[in-house]
Structure 1
Amino acid sequence: MPDQPYLQLTWQDRVTGKTGHLVVDRLVRGVASGGLRMRAGCTLDEVRGLAAGMTAKEALNYDPAGRYIPLGGAKGGIDCDPRDPRAGQVLRRYLEAVRPYIETIWTMGEDLGLRQDDIDAALAEIGVESSIMAVYPLLEDPAKARRRLSDAFEVVVDGVPLDELVGGYGVAEAALAGLGGLGLEPAGSRAFVQGFGSMGGATARYLARAGVRVVGIADAVGVVANPAGLDVENLLLTRNSFGEVDRAELRHGDAQLPLRKWLDVEAEILVPAAVSYAITAENQAAVQAKLIAEAANMPVTAEAEKSLAERGVLVLPDVVVNSATNAWWWWTLYGDIEPNAESAFAKISSSIRALVASVLDRANLASSPPRAAAAALAAESFRRIEREFPTA
């Protein structure tokens, strides 16, 4: 795939001076897909890397037998703390500035620091119909497709909306597949999840339901750990909108540790599900896990990953592990799955597990890291997409 993105821009808010970025890495049939994040310190380089990752995720989920035809990759990012009281207005002004792209080439949804409800409300304020309206011309029956997606967003599974679960369910399935590749069983394995928002919370739920003992989680406040296992369900249902655990809900035996201690909790599975660049060359030596499942985007730096591989730590890359959220939107919209939890979870499980198996097989065959294997598979798939569909 070419190195230069199709489009990149930086916007500055005239009121606060905050900056925002948009990168469209590739177009397929004139459209690209990727979420919008908000965090203090978000950079153009970060957004560029995320957009390229979206191109790979779309390509990796291409099934010629399916109705869903992958799009190109894109990403948006706003350099603003989502807790800032001005964040809502910054979001609205950013969306107003990039409105022409949303209406024509960029389909997007929530990402780190933003919820879909926040995006939808801001778009409604400026008169934009939908965050995914650019894909409507590619649908056979847009009205029917939109009803399917709307119905899916109404589904609640054990107290949590389905759209907040699909990504983490995919992460859990990827981690379980990776665990099997290491010859380990869920029963007897422990997991630590860094980040307890929609992605991290759902990952913890479905790892626990598979028999893995979740011995620790980290949120913005600190670490909660218990070697006997946390009551994930209770913590999940009592967290706040920022993914922070209600400390009043902790049980006897649940320990509270400073946030800096997040790598000190012993576990076979480590799930970084919060910010990018969380595991670096400086802190990778503290990693005790045998498997890292990248639920966040770009949480392990290249230097850290090299050192981890030398120590025998298996790192499953983000473009595979966290690709279920994006794919679920399109599987539902295009009609590859029904708008219910059973259909969604079955498709995610079969697709993610098959993708992890393909990546690990390629990695073993080529004696390469899983990330390189995933990149090779994505490039092969993207070339096929380029041959079959007009691409800019």
Structure 2
Amino acid sequence: MSKNVSFLDSVNRYFDAAAPHTGLDEGLLKQIKVCNGVYQIHFPVKINGKVEVLEAYRAQHSHHRSPTKGGIRYSNHVNQDEVVALATLMSYKCAIVDVPFGGAKGGVKINPWEYSEQDLEKITRRYTTELIRRKFIGPAVDVPAPDYGTGSREMAWIYDTYRSFHPDDINAAGCVTGKPVNQNGVRGRTEATGRGVFYGIREACNNKELMDKLGLSMGIEGKTMVIQGLGNVGSHTATISQDEGGVKIIGVSEVEGAIYNPDGIDIHALLRHRAHHGSILSYPDARIYGKDKRRAVMEFDCDILVPAALENQIDGENAPNVKAKIVAEAANGPVTADGAKILAERGVIVIPDIYLNAGGVTVSYFEWLKNLSHMRFGRLEKRFDERAYRRIVDQIEATTGKTISERDKELIIRGADEIDLVRSGLEETMIQGFNQVYKMYSDNAEIKDLRTAAFALAISKISSDYIALGIWP
């Protein structure tokens, strides 16, 4: 595919490939495919004594479920096509993992690293004010979240701005997710997308048919992994895969370049090194690839390649050189439609973004539920469970005449905290999501890859909502 073809074109091509497998009416398919609404904004902000007029967007792709949901990114690359494409993916993503939101996405066309914290606060609050004026934000309307270039700090500013306009809304905290924990956020949200990526890769590696097809052993432990991008998603995917999955990280790339060591890279040591030195390129005992060769990471020899940065990283040019057996799309749209076609022809398994990186919106859903219920998870049941477990342990000791050590006893009787419940809910969601995608794939001989199966599954679920709610005549 030509590099001039947009991210949105790739998303639409994936939709078009999956649509014939759903058996749905052509008109209904067209309604599901199109974006319901886009709000383009230009607003002034005074920066260093001068007024800058900034370009921004908020797209709401589908209202088959309410509210709509999607992140806000700050990037020089923000444009209408990109925001619509990301909102579209959010609709499909939420459908696959049974999160009851429609898809949305927002963006401000800036380089956030060129602005001070004070300037970013001005920009964020003004952007939020524009969304409030047009009723493009609210706990029952549209709920933003962090994305590229934003984080919990920006979400706190959004929440505070919304609350100032709606002081009587007791559910105001639900207007945005990804907030700091001490400002009505939820524990586990920061790591959520990366942890979800790990759970998704693990499920694929536990699938015997897929592993036999690739000639790989069952399970994730011992497999080699290459990570492109050490942002929030990439760093958490890498650390969790290494620590909990026993994966060997052998290659990493970042904006300054890439490194490779077939004997393994301690990802915690690498993150500390980059934080201290500002670059991964001086990391010891690794082959160095400079900035002009950073895309070489896509061609490193490994079992699992995890593109965790921006879209359009594997295309028709470099897809023939990808040596990984599994490409796990932690980013949104890292593989173009032409790249995906080449990978499929070569027998590479692509775990698609619309399933794999749904961990963020899943835990955002948990945060939204927490905000609407006004209660942290685990508050009701934690002590009750601990007392019940203690009675069981005491009964076992009395019956067997044996004593369990205090350390082991504390581990057994401990009730679940919020972080435990969030991780458990995320794990269950990713397992069930993979099983549904794989069933669609295995039950339909005409579907040749997991991405087409995931799109077909999402389209079918959204169509059911349209029909059940009477949205479709």
Shift of 1:311: 0.5
Q: Contact 2:273 / 2:283 at 8 angstroms: preserved in 1?
A: no
In the alignment, is residue 188 of structure 1 matched against residue 266 of structure 2? Answer: no
TM-score (norm. length: structure 1): 0.83
Shift of 1:115: 1.1
Corresponding residue of 1:306: 341
Q: Deviations over 1:248-279 (max 9, x none)?
A: 89664133322232223221111111111111
- Specify whether residues 149 and 385 from structure 1 end up closer, same or farther in structure 2 by C-alpha distance, changes over 3 A only: farther
Distance 2:69 2:274 in 1: 29
Corresponding residue of 1:173: 199
- Specify whether residues 245 and 38 from structure 1 end up closer, same or farther in structure 2 by C-alpha distance, changes over 3 A only: farther
Q: Contact 2:249 / 2:265 at 8 angstroms: preserved in 1?
A: yes
> Helix, strand or coil: the match of 2:137?
helix
Distance 2:196 2:314 in 1: 21
| Residue identity (%) | 25
Q: Deviations over 1:46-100 (max 9, x none)?
A: 11111111111221222xxxxxx60211000222222122771444432332223
Corresponding residue of 2:131: 98
Matched residue type, 1:194: Q
Distance 1:74 1:44 in 2: 12
Corresponding residue of 2:42: 12
Corresponding residue of 2:389: none
Q: Deviations over 1:320-371 (max 9, x none)?
A: 0000111112134426964622222222222212222321232233232212
Distance 1:353 1:391 in 2: 31
Distance 1:230 1:147 in 2: 32
Q: Contact 1:21 / 1:76 at 8 angstroms: preserved in 2?
A: yes
Distance 2:181 2:148 in 1: 21
> Helix, strand or coil: the match of 1:98?
helix
In the alignment, is residue 296 of structure 1 matched against residue 326 of structure 2? Answer: no
Q: Contact 1:36 / 1:108 at 8 angstroms: preserved in 2?
A: yes
In the alignment, is residue 261 of structure 1 matched against residue 296 of structure 2? Answer: yes
**Among 234, 238, 251, which residue is 1:204 paired with?**
238
Distance 1:117 1:391 in 2: 37
- Specify whether residues 70 and 148 from structure 1 end up closer, same or farther in structure 2 by C-alpha distance, changes over 3 A only: farther
TM-score (norm. length: structure 2): 0.70
Corresponding residue of 1:158: none
Distance 1:51 1:7 in 2: 10
Corresponding residue of 1:230: 265
> Helix, strand or coil: the match of 1:187?
coil
In the alignment, is residue 79 of structure 1 matched against residue 109 of structure 2? Answer: yes
Matched residue type, 1:329: S
Matched residue type, 2:71: G
> Helix, strand or coil: the match of 1:260?
helix
Q: Deviations over 1:74-132 (max 9, x none)?
A: 000222222122771444432332223113622011001111212323553xx322999
Q: Deviations over 1:173-222 (max 9, x none)?
A: 11122223332332331111111111111100121120110111112222
Count of residues in Structure 1 that have an aligned counterpart in Structure 2: 371
Unaligned runs of 5+ in 1: 63-68, 156-161
Please say which structure displays the higher CA radius of gyration.
2
> Helix, strand or coil: the match of 1:266?
coil
- Specify whether residues 250 and 380 from structure 1 end up closer, same or farther in structure 2 by C-alpha distance, changes over 3 A only: same
Task: Give the helix-richer structure, 1 or 2.
Answer: 2
Q: CA RMSD in A?
A: 3.4
